[in-house]
Amino acid sequence: MIFPIILSGGSGSRLWPVSREHYPKQFLNLHKDDRSLLQEAAERLKNVDDTSAPLVVCNEEHRFLVAEQMHQIGHQQAQIVLEPVGRNTAPALALAALVARHADAEAEMLVMPADHVIKDEQVFADAVAKGRSLLQEGKLVTFGITPSSPQTGYGYIKRGQPLQDGYAVEAFVEKPDLARAEQYLASGEYLWNSGIFLFKATDYLAALAQYAPDILDVCERAFEARSEDLDFVRVDSAIFEQCRSESIDYAVMEHTQQAAVVPMDPTWSDIGAWDALHTLKADADKQNGNATHGDVMLHNTHNSLIHSESRLVAAVGVKDLVIVETDDAVLVADRHHAQDTKLIVNALNAAGRKESQSHQRVYRPWGNYRTMVLTDSFQVKEIVVNPGAKLSLQMHHHRAEHWVVVKGTAKVTQGEGHGDLSKLKSFLLSEDQSTYIPLGTVHRLENPGVIPLHLIEVQTGSYLGEDDIVRYNDEYGRE
């Protein structure tokens, strides 16, 4: 049986300001309006025979986003393996292989990044079927994209001797300059490296034991000390942090004699930067070559990407631009320099600015909130609580809160004194009703209804940071 492994790491910094560290590109609807890239990856499996529920590898920060998005598309049985820290793809896949082997000694792993687009899913499924024929020979299969242009942003794979339904890998090649990329394209011997793999879990672990035994040792010990709760498999954090960071290409694929490649041409993109998204979507405007999203108006504009999140964006008399608007940042870039957006993110990080990490709307396992006004002494938020969800039972040392329900029904649990857990009372609030939570009062907010609860929260106090929370009880295992 094939165990689909979806790698959901990375921050997608070249797609800033839409993609951010706490809500990166794999969770965004960049290609389809009704599906995130992560959900597209999971849905792609419907054309692949003999698959189990997906297994997603992600970091702790994104665990509830992954769980919610998997549940939204009916993958309630998806397992989620949590990496305490990022250590690149070789250790991540070691953990996935250990989970898969634990479930099935003959498990086959189909490894897919969560943030790629594949338009022709049947071509992809056919390539996977060809790859399975190579597994019986102990091959570690990767999938190469038939190149359509001399791209300098992708690694390449050089084909070797023909095999059944594929080729031996002669070499993995780093991202080339333009002249070399043109030579690769002209030769017909090179494929783009897609980062998609297929192999038996036992074969991958054996290759790690041969070429990167230190990685395997740490991952095995961290896996043995694992715990499980809700949808999550948690490996031992202290042990896993000892693992070195390494990609599967460097750790295994460039060393093994068992590497094989299956060519495919399913109209693929890794959406590595805004120019790649422009290429993917500009076909909709064949006359002017523009790609748009949201409330956009154009006049005499050509070969540009204009992306609006929260307001009207108008472009007049421009060409070859990327214009991206969110509620707290605007990016304007030459489309041919879109890869350099990452340099802006690096500068934001160096300056300690939050725009590189979070949007105005922040997602939590119970729903989300959006900061509307923030000053030194008060803050106004819009809070949305999902049906049946509840926030933790908590208390704040430095702020008081005033809640006004604008849609739905709120159930409020509240103590009577400072930090008093002995006399909790609960009551309901409907639309246009409000309550006041004094500083130091134990409280909880939940949505007992069947529609999302929307309320306005006004915070006042000397310190308004999100770390001013003392949790007494939490449904989601947060400290």
pLDDT tens digits along 311-340: 999 999 999 999 999 999 999 999 999 999
Rounded Cα–Cα distance for residues 97 and 102 (Å): 8
pLDDT tens digits along 281-298: 887 777 899 999 999 999
> Within 13 Å of residue 296, how many CA atoms lie on the same side as its CB?
21
pLDDT tens digits along 333-392: 999 999 999 999 999 999 999 999 988 888 898 999 999 998 989 999 999 999 999 999
Compute the average pLDDT of residues 204-209.
Answer: 97
Six-digit token string for 97: 């292989």
Q: Answer yes or no: is pLDDT of 9 > 70.
A: yes
In the structure, what pLDDT confidence band is assigned to residue 202 with cuts at 50, 70 and 90? Answer: very high
Q: Answer yes or no: is pLDDT of 479 > 70.
A: no
Question: Which of 294, 319, 345 lies at the terminal end of a domain, its last residue?
Answer: 345
- Residue 115 and residue 223 in one domain: yes
- Residue 117 and residue 216 in one domain: yes
- Residue 257 and residue 403 in one domain: no
* 352 inside domain: no
pLDDT tens digits along 427-445: 999 999 999 999 999 999 9
Rounded Cα–Cα distance for residues 380 and 459 (Å): 6
Q: What is the CATH number of the domain that holds 250?
A: 3.90.550.10
What local confidence, expressed as pLDDT, does residue 33 receive? 82
Compute the average pLDDT of residues 108-133.
Answer: 95
Give how far Cα 435 sits from Cα of 236, 409, 416, 465, Å: 42, 13, 13, 21
* 48 inside domain: yes
What local confidence, expressed as pLDDT, does residue 32 receive? 86
- Residue 208 and residue 312 in one domain: no
What is the extent of the structural domain holding 33? 2-269
Instruction: Give the number of domains in the chain.
Output: 3
- Spatial CB neighbours of 60, under 8 Å, sequence gap ≥ 6: 82, 83, 84
- Residue 263 and residue 282 in one domain: no
Give how far Cα 234 sits from Cα of 79, 97, 105, Å: 11, 15, 21
Strands 305-308 and 291-293: parallel
* 461 inside domain: yes
* 21 inside domain: yes
Q: Residue 349's CB: how many other CB atoms inside 10 A?
A: 14
Mean residue pLDDT across the chain: 93
Q: Residue 39's CB: how many other CB atoms inside 10 A?
A: 20
> Within 13 Å of residue 201, how many CA atoms lie on the same side as its CB?
23
pLDDT tens digits along 154-190: 999 999 999 989 999 999 999 999 999 999 999 999 9
Share above pLDDT 70 across residues of the chain, in percent, rounded to a whole number: 100
Question: Which of 269, 288, 318 lies at the terminal end of a domain, its last residue?
Answer: 269
What local confidence, expressed as pLDDT, does residue 226 receive? 95
Compute the average pLDDT of residues 135-148.
Answer: 94
Rounded Cα–Cα distance for residues 323 and 246 (Å): 35
**Closest CA relative to residue 175, chosen from 270, 309, 97, 104:** 270
pLDDT tens digits along 30-76: 988 889 999 999 999 999 999 999 999 999 889 989 999 999 999 88
- Residue 140 and residue 116 in one domain: yes
Six-digit token string for 323: 């214009």
- Residue 285 and residue 330 in one domain: yes
Rounded Cα–Cα distance for residues 67 and 476 (Å): 12
Rounded Cα–Cα distance for residues 120 and 125 (Å): 9
What radius of gyration, in Å, describes the C-alpha atoms of the chain?
25
Q: Does residue 78 contact residue 231 with C-beta atoms inside 8 Å?
A: yes
- Residue 112 and residue 8 in one domain: yes
Q: Does residue 277 contact residue 116 with C-beta atoms inside 8 Å?
A: no
* 479 inside domain: no
pLDDT tens digits along 451-471: 999 999 999 999 999 889 999
For 438, the 3-state DSSP assignment is: coil
- Residue 105 and residue 239 in one domain: yes
pLDDT tens digits along 224-262: 999 988 779 999 999 999 999 999 999 999 999 999 999
Alpha carbon of residue 420 to chain centroid: 40
Question: Which of 269, 289, 309 lies at the terminal end of a domain, its last residue?
Answer: 269
- Residue 378 and residue 313 in one domain: no
Compute the average pLDDT of residues 444-452.
Answer: 97
pLDDT tens digits along 87-112: 999 999 999 999 999 999 999 999 99
- Residue 71 and residue 216 in one domain: yes
- Residue 257 and residue 402 in one domain: no
